[in-house]
């Protein structure tokens, strides 16, 4: 069975100007990729280095009926704010995406008590990561426009250290170019108002996955993610976040994780394929016999951006997962119509 070395906690994924490679189970005190010396092999001005760092924070929250995902992303040439809310019973979908030219705000370098917000006419998005208080908070407010109803949400992740184990990784694209990711699954409480209807998230029934990313990603970035949450036949809360990207040596370290009642299982690298196209079944498999899933898209969500100097093709279908994931104790977690999301990104910037 696949196992991975978990390294002792440390303050940063960078040491003496060089990026480290590894997996940890605690957030770093600070992540500042500008501390890496000569990531492209030659001296560069700080502004040029900063311009190559892409960063984003994302939320995935769902109970048996409602799905909410949101993301703040800074690509330096432009920033994006994305919100998706889906009511599975009424088949109502809210899609919101705002593109803001320029670099503007930066995401926090620390998660122990850091915040970022994006606001403009008719829109507000705030993330407060407060690990010192064992919580992560999300606030959203989208004003109505044309046929789109108003939407407001407040959600709080309960990231108590004795109840859930996070995963932090530092992965290499090249000797001096790396990416960092922090992921955690936890119960979520909160409220939403959608089109005048009040909706509550019960933490006994609602699970969220929070992700924080920073990296010297390739100029042509290609990544896929598969995410889902639910409860197994024993009533245990589980969540998974699985990715395929361009990082080196993905067998030793990667960003793939499973949580069962808060216990973390680092997963092996996977291959994610769509043999009949992105609108048909996605096949997610590893070589270690721990991941064997099929994702069936049910609601297609697309967002494409094409500037002269940049292009983004971002597919985020909502759907269901079926198959098996194995935890660190060798126990099979059977997935039967588990709700989730798939993401496929091509980014040139």
> DSSP string spanning 141-178?
EE--BTTBPPEEEEEEEE--TTT---EEEEEEEETTEE
In a domain, 313, yes or no: yes
**pLDDT for res 94:** 94
In a domain, 208, yes or no: yes
**pLDDT for res 7:** 98
**Structural domain containing residue 28:** 14-348
In a domain, 78, yes or no: yes
The number of residues making up the chain comes to: 349
Give me the residues paired with residue 82 across strands. Answer: 71, 97
Token reading at 320: 């269901």
Give me the residues paired with residue 62 across strands. Answer: 67, 207
CA 207/CA 70 separation, integer angstroms:
14
CA 193/CA 142 separation, integer angstroms:
10
| Residue whose token pair is 């119960």 | 187
**pLDDT for res 122:** 86
In a domain, 114, yes or no: yes
In a domain, 46, yes or no: yes
**Mean pLDDT per 10-residue segment, the chain (349 residues):** 97 98 98 98 95 98 97 94 96 92 87 94 94 98 90 98 98 98 99 94 98 98 99 98 98 99 99 97 98 98 87 96 98 98 97
CA 106/CA 32 separation, integer angstroms:
11
In a domain, 23, yes or no: yes
The total of other beta-carbon atoms located within 10 Å of residue 274's CB is 17
How many structural domains are present in the chain? 1
Q: 27: exposed, middle or buried (C-beta count within 10 Å: 0-12, 13-18, 19+)?
A: buried
Token reading at 291: 């991941």
Instruction: Evaluate whether 51 touches 76 at the Cβ level (below 8 Å).
Output: yes
Token reading at 235: 């009533």
Contacts of 146 (CB under 8 A, 6+ apart): none
**pLDDT for res 195:** 83
Instruction: Evaluate whether 22 touches 169 at the Cβ level (below 8 Å).
Output: yes
Q: Which residues of 214-248 are buried (b: 16+ CB within 10 A; e: fewer)?
A: bbbbbeebebbbbbbbbebeeeebbbbbbbbbebe
HSE-up of residue 316 (Cα within 13 Å, Cβ side): 24
In a domain, 324, yes or no: yes
For the chain, how far is it from start to end, CA to CA, in angstroms?
A: 38
pTM exceeds 0.95? yes
In a domain, 7, yes or no: no
C-alpha distances (whole Å) from 94 to each of 6, 61, 85, 185 are: 39, 14, 5, 24
CA 104/CA 55 separation, integer angstroms:
12
């Amino acid at each position: 069975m696949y196992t991975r070395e978990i390294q002792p906690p440390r303050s940063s994924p960078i040491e003496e100007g060089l990026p480290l490679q590894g997996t940890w189970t605690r957030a770093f005190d600070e992540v500042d990729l500008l501390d890496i010396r000569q990531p492209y092999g030659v001296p560069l001005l700080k502004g040029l280095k900063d311009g190559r760092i892409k960063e984003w924070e994302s939320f995935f929250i769902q109970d048996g009926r409602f799905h909410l995902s949101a993301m703040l992303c800074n690509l330096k040439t432009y920033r994006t704010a994305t919100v998706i809310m889906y009511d599975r019973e009424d088949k109502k979908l809210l899609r919101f995406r705002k593109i803001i030219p320029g670099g503007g705000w930066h995401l926090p370098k620390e998660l122990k008590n850091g915040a970022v917000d994006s606001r403009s006419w008719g829109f507000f998005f705030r993330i407060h990561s407060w690990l010192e208080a064992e919580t992560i908070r999300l606030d959203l407010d989208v004003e109505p426009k044309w046929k789109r109803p108003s939407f407001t949400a407040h959600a709080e992740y309960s990231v108590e250290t004795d109840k859930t184990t996070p995963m932090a990784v530092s992965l290499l694209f090249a000797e001096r170019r790396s990416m960092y990711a922090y992921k955690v699954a936890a119960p979520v409480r909160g409220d939403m108002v959608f089109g005048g209807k009040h909706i509550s998230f019960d933490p006994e029934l609602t699970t969220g996955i929070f992700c924080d990313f920073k990296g010297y990603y390739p100029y042509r970035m290609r990544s896929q993610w598969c995410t889902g949450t639910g409860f197994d036949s024993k009533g245990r809360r589980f969540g998974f976040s699985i990715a395929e990207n361009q990082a080196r040596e993905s067998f030793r370290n990667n960003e793939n994780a499973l949580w069962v009642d808060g216990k973390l299982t680092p997963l092996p690298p996977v291959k994610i394929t769509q043999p009949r196209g992105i609108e048909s079944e996605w096949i997610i498999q590893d070589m270690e016999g721990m991941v064997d899933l099929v994702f069936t898209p049910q609601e297609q969500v697309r967002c494409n951006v094409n500037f002269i100097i940049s292009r983004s093709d971002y597919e985020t279908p909502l759907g269901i997962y079926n198959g098996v994931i194995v935890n660190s104790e060798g126990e099979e977690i059977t997935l039967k119509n588990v709700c989730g999301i798939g993401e496929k990104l091509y980014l040139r910037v």
